[in-house]
Amino acid sequence: MHTPFRILLAVLALALGTSVPAAELLNVSYDPTRELYKEVNDRFIQYWKAEHGELPRVRMSHGGSGKQARAVIDGLKADVVTLALAWDIQAIAERGLIEPGWRSELPHNSAPYTSTIVFLVRRGNPKNVRDWNDLGTPGIAVVTPNPKTSGGARWNYLAAWGAIIRTGGSEAEAEAFMTRLFRSVPVLDTGARGSTTTFVQRGIGDVLLVWENEAMLILEQFGRDQFEIIRPRLSVLAEPTVAVVDKVVRQRGNEELARSYLEFLYTPVGQTLAAKHHFRPRDLTVLKANADKFPSLDLFTVDDFFGGWDAVQAEHFANGGRFDRIFAAREK
Amino acid sequence: MSDQNAMLMLQRPRRRRPLHPGFRLTLGITLAYLGLLVLMPITAAVLKALELDWATFRELATSERAQAAYRVSFGLSLAAATINLVMGTLTAWVLVRYRFPGRRLVDAMIDLPFALPTAVAGIALATLYAQNGWLGAWLAPLGIKVAFTPLGILVALVFIGLPFVVRTVQPALQDLDRSLEEAAASLGASRFQALRWVVLRHLAPAALTGFTLAFSRAIGEYGSVIFIAGNIPFVSEIAPLLIVVHLEQYDYAGATVIAVAMLALSFALLLVINLLQRHTPGSQSRR
């Protein structure tokens, strides 16, 4: 036999030998969780091996939250989805891929870690921005992505709206405030990372409305000598949610693996990793251990305060909703 | 019909065979290919849009915001294609008619806007033209803002459309027999007249083709524009972005409404340009 042929055979045998189907999982997530899940996956694989003796594979897909949800709807075979807001998972559920009632499958409304919306300002806070009512005033330019194209930015909008209402403002006052706020936005990017670039790299704007975990990441990457985080007194509790895609895991027979993966996020190890990657942990012990990092704030939730995503979507973000009206008013 | 032609027809077998073989086969392949690649997705989009009743369709397609977005998209695309028409013809002229060091390098550079991922182009342009960018820092004191204004969109559209006119005019210019210009000169035409009536007349159809290509490309451009536009509704929001806005709301029908409206507008405009082209002096396709 010729040597090249023998090598080929050997390679084939090897390939066949190793292609015994190992348990595999596809986690479809959104952008800022890249670093978090890289570490979670490594730890989970070890954990699963210790329990079951086999090494599972976890593959990741990252992108804008809404885009990822649409990919799953259009046929991307995700076993679990870990997205920026419950509304995106709800959209998948409405198309029959996830069973209704998914939000009560896991503790804390299926949101294993949380965050909130904070202000990122330039070092020294030259415009002296302290709280929400400092925004929308002359001379202060606010950078935020478009809540219609960015799931993450919907939290920005809701944080501002809720803060005005919670401090005694009427709906008319809140709408007037939002109009002033969005009038001061010089660049309305389509995604959260785009806004970060606009604020950080292009030097545009005085305040960036941003997730707390993203703000910490910016400080880490660009240095504390350039920016600082201002936490408003009131803000929204951003709850990135997770769910098993029932239809897919049943087809592929890895339901146990998928559930165990999401439950792992709630274990002390998972919670510690979340905290390390700047998400607020749900576990009170882990939260206490990170108290310096996550000062306690007055946070309101979408469910309690706005009556859930369906209501929010219909009132604020649907065609002709409040957000569209704010922009129509912006022109006059 | 002349006698000679009649004779030829008599001599031929009754069923005339075309000059080249495989007419039916190639036509079949072409139609199937175009159907699969072009017609099917467009049909799918139209069908999706038809899920809505007419009143909703009209309301979505002609809302104030949509109209503003069409104006931005079509207006700036037209402007960008016009700039490319002039500058592209000039560039082709220089590349074909003059010999200078580095000509081949410049020639190769023309295609770069094609090769570059559009997102890279958008980010690079935004970086250059932002108020703290190399060019933006110079323009800012003059009160000229490019990045995050409609002007920025124009810059991006000119950039991505640059190769079209150059690449369509170049071969036409190479084919242009110089003896024609010499004849014009010897017949007493001034240099300007020779340029106007011989050269430009000959180049017009090719240039117009390039213009159409640059224009169509600009209308659909999303990747590069999004990074430099500012994306403010009614000001710098392009129509393709409006489609994405609808998609992010899981409003598939709404998204296809804008898509179908854009398609209809583009088709109408391209038809007009095509008709114009037929009536361009020097056009070969005139019948």
Inform me whether the C-beta atom of residue B65 falls under 8 Å from chain A C-beta atoms. yes
**What are residue A142's DSSP bridge partners?**
A207
Q: Which pLDDT belongs to residue A234?
A: 95
Average pLDDT, integer, range A156-164:
96
Structural domains for chain A: 3-111+239-266 (3.40.190.10), 115-237+297-330 (3.40.190.10)
Return the DSSP state at B190: -
Cα distances (Å, whole numbers) of residue B68 to A161, B200, B205, B238? 27, 36, 32, 8
CB B95 within 8 A of CB B106: yes
pLDDT, chain A, mean: 91
- In the block, residue with structure tokens 């998609």: B247
pLDDT per residue as tens digits for the range A236-292: 999 999 999 999 999 999 999 999 999 999 999 999 999 999 999 999 999 999 999
pLDDT per residue as tens digits for the range A135-155: 999 999 999 999 988 888 999
Helix (H) or strand (E) holding A241: strand A241-244
Closest residue in chain B to residue A193, using alpha carbons only:
B227
**Considering only CB atoms, which chain B residues are within 8 Å of A322?**
none
CB A240 within 8 A of CB A115: yes
- What are the backbone angles phi and psi of residue A118, rounded to the nearest 5°? -125, 175
Confidence band (pLDDT; 50, 70, 90) for A224? Answer: confident
Rounded CA-CA distance B206/B170 in Å is 9
- The size of chain A, in residues, is 332
Q: Which pLDDT belongs to residue B287?
A: 37
**Considering only CB atoms, which chain B residues are within 8 Å of A318?**
249
Q: Which pLDDT belongs to residue A1?
A: 45
- In the block, residue with structure tokens 């069409």: B70
Do A328 and B65 count as a contact with CB atoms less than 8 A apart? yes
Look up the CATH number of domain B54-278.
1.10.3720.10
**Considering only CB atoms, which chain B residues are within 8 Å of A187?**
148, 230-232
Number of H helices and number of E strands within chain A?
A: 15, 11
Closest residue in chain A to residue B145, using alpha carbons only:
A186
Cβ-nearest to B234 among A91, A204, A331: A331
Rounded CA-CA distance B128/B125 in Å is 5
Write out the DSSP string of A4-25. Answer: HHHHHHHHHHHHHHHTS---EE
Helix (H) or strand (E) holding A98: none
- In the block, residue with structure tokens 């001379």: A139
Q: Which pLDDT belongs to residue A6?
A: 59
ipTM of the complex: 0.75
Q: Which pLDDT belongs to residue A58?
A: 95
Return the DSSP state at B142: G
Cβ-nearest to B132 among A73, A146, A202: A202
Cβ-nearest to A149 among B64, B248, B250: B248
3-state DSSP of B69-98: HHHHHHHHHHHHHHHHHHHHHHHHHHHHHC
Return the DSSP state at B51: T
pLDDT per residue as tens digits for the range A163-221: 999 999 999 999 999 999 999 999 999 888 889 999 999 999 999 999 999 999 999 98
A5-9, A23-27, A209-213 — which is least confidently predicted?
Answer: A5-9
Q: Which pLDDT belongs to residue A293?
A: 95
First to last CA, chain A: 83
Give me the helices (H) in A113-254, please: 151-166, 171-183, 192-200, 212-222, 246-252
The vertex-A118 CA angle with B241 and A71, nearest 5°, equals 35
Tokens of B68: 């503003």
Across A22-73, the runs of DSSP E, i.e. the strands, are 24-29, 57-61
Rounded CA-CA distance B224/A162 in Å is 35
Inform me whether the C-beta atom of residue B247 falls under 8 Å from chain A C-beta atoms. yes
- Residue B250: name the closest of A210, A141, A143, A313 by CA: A313
In single-letter form, the type of residue at position A21 comes to P
**Intervals of chain B under pLDDT 50:** 1-2, 285-287
- Indicate the SS3 state at residue A113: strand
Average pLDDT, integer, range A64-86:
94
CB A20 within 8 A of CB A180: no
Radius of gyration of chain B (CA): 24
Rounded CA-CA distance B267/B272 in Å is 9
Phi-psi region of B148 (alpha: psi -120 to 50; beta: other; left: phi over 0): left
- Domain limits, chain B: 18-49, 54-278
- Residue B131: name the closest of B230, B9, B207, B32 by CA: B230
Pairing between β-strand A80-83 and β-strand A24-29 as defined by DSSP bridges: parallel
